[in-house]
Amino acid sequence: MTLVNSEWRRGKLDELGVEFVDGDRSARYPKRTEFVEQGVPFLNAESISSGRLDASKAKHLSPQKFDS
């Protein structure tokens, strides 16, 4: 497993304990204005390229928005 930075690890998803949840497309879905520069990664189809997650394309939510 490779460290990408101090908070991210690179490895197989099943080894990292990653859980994918089908997003809520209702009124709770984040608006463009609710994304922030740093925070909880928000992955969507744009974050996948050639069958791999591309963390550089991830958007981010504030911890407060993520928990709401």
DSSP β-ladder status, 40-42 and 48-49? unpaired
Q: What are the structural domain ranges in the chain?
A: 2-67
The low-confidence residues of the chain, meaning pLDDT below 50, are 1-3
The reported pLDDT for the residue numbered 13 is 73
The reported pLDDT for the residue numbered 27 is 77
Distance CA 5, CA 2 (A): 9
The reported pLDDT for the residue numbered 35 is 94
The reported pLDDT for the residue numbered 5 is 64
